Structure 1
């Protein structure tokens, strides 16, 4: 899936739809920790991961930009540190100038007002005024992978982000996952329209039949029942 198609299809989906698609496709659901939130309200991101492991200096980001392509997303691994900001307005401006779609930071940012003025989507765990006061040894494979929470990602991954958070998916499964997500979205929209028209969700998913069947088969799960009736509110 090329960048143009990725942007177009994600524009009418959410990370929740795609997370549900991962569950249905038995692909690990790789979410950034909930603390990673949009700095620019309403920010949305979809692009290939451009990883960078921060060691105290901005040069690692400049090097990542040299390797990145248009529409990529800089994914910064600063170990979730809370004692320093690793990205400020100049890095965000440079990302925009390099044609990147945005920035995701497993750590803190600063220069919030300037980042808001730039408008490029940025996701981070929060802000602090101080930059790094260290210069560590450059990690091996510093622009080959980045760890965000419990997940390590690289250029073989896509990053998708919206108001619900940040999700990573394997690029080689994107077509399958987006198709599933679109099916889930359409089913849920139909269910929502029917609720608004007066038909309860319980009625749509035949919840009374589920309760009756569970009395006969206590091990029956609601998800098994939903699969049988074509529901999509779970998975």
Structure 2
């Protein structure tokens, strides 16, 4: 499906949705965008933006570099770092967070770990990762590719795809399908709100669910 909404419209729509809304929409549409095991450093973090991708690999005889890219990124960009799930070498820390905040970067998603958590927490800069540890990735990992498809928690993320993150984790929505995903997610969100209103009014949950077809909302179509 071709995307027709503007970046501003998409951003506004995604900010009004939760990861659970979008997760159910992805299931309905048969899109594998769930990033397994990637969680926010702080449960209050929310993230919406488009993927800027970088893939790491282990160093060889040539130690290479961990990359020097953050000055080129700005509002709406989400830094997506594929470190192959490594837990023993960080690829994000204090100086990157500090500069990202200055530049208005939307957030960072890492298949791996970060460090200098306090900087992220105190600046409310959203980092989603497999955890945190103190040991640097310098001389342990090197840049293998920039602006290429990467794997984050088993989900394929391509440059320009949309990322949504909250306390339940992070999701990737292919750029070319964002409109239909948003439409499905809004339908699911609104149906669940009708159920809550019915329960608040005294209806049994079973009856309220049946009235809106709850058990079929996320079924693949």
Give the structure-2-normalised TM-score.
0.84
Please report how far the alpha carbon of residue 58 of structure 1 lies from its aligned counterpart in structure 2 after TM superposition: 6.3
Pairs within 5 Å for 1:32-71: 32-34=35-37, 36-55=38-57, 59-60=66-67, 62-63=68-69, 66=72, 68=73, 70-71=75-76
Please report how far the alpha carbon of residue 3 of structure 1 lies from its aligned counterpart in structure 2 after TM superposition: 3.6
What's the counterpart of residue 179 of structure 2? 175
Is 2:17 the counterpart of 1:13? Answer: yes
Summarize the Cα distance change of 1:166–1:65 in structure 2 as closer, same or farther, 3 Å threshold.
farther
Distance 1:65 1:155 in 2: 18
Please report how far the alpha carbon of residue 59 of structure 1 lies from its aligned counterpart in structure 2 after TM superposition: 4.7
Distance 2:137 2:209 in 1: 54
Is 2:182 the counterpart of 1:231? Answer: no
* DSSP 3-state at the match of 1:84: strand
Q: Which has the larger radius of gyration?
A: 1
Summarize the Cα distance change of 1:200–1:110 in structure 2 as closer, same or farther, 3 Å threshold.
same
The question of whether the paired residues in 2 share the 8 Å contact of 1:3 and 1:71 is answered with no
Higher strand share: 2
Summarize the Cα distance change of 1:16–1:168 in structure 2 as closer, same or farther, 3 Å threshold.
same
Is 2:139 the counterpart of 1:134? Answer: yes
Q: Name structure 2 gaps, 5 residues minimum.
A: none
What's the counterpart of residue 206 of structure 2? 202
Relative contact order higher in (CA < 8 Å, ≥ 6 apart): 2
Structure 2 residue corresponding to 1:103, chosen from 108, 128, 132? 108
The question of whether the paired residues in 2 share the 8 Å contact of 1:52 and 1:64 is answered with no
State the Cα deviation string for residues 202-230 of structure 1 (Å, max 9, x = none). Answer: 12344xxxxxxxxxxxxxxxxxxxxxx64
The question of whether the paired residues in 2 share the 8 Å contact of 1:73 and 1:100 is answered with yes
The question of whether the paired residues in 2 share the 8 Å contact of 1:109 and 1:128 is answered with yes
Summarize the Cα distance change of 1:64–1:51 in structure 2 as closer, same or farther, 3 Å threshold.
farther
Give the structure-1-normalised TM-score.
0.79
Instruction: Please give the root-mean-square deviation of Cα atoms over the aligned residues, in Å.
Output: 2.2
**Number of residues of Structure 1 aligned to a counterpart in Structure 2:** 208
Higher helix share: 1
The question of whether the paired residues in 1 share the 8 Å contact of 2:21 and 2:186 is answered with yes
Structure 2 residue corresponding to 1:92, chosen from 74, 90, 97? 97
Distance 1:12 1:144 in 2: 29
Q: Name structure 1 gaps, 5 residues minimum.
A: 207-228
What's the counterpart of residue 223 of structure 1? none
State the Cα deviation string for residues 108-148 of structure 1 (Å, max 9, x = none). Answer: 11111122122111111111111125355642x33323211
Summarize the Cα distance change of 1:24–1:48 in structure 2 as closer, same or farther, 3 Å threshold.
same
Range that drifts further, 102-111 or 195-204: 195-204
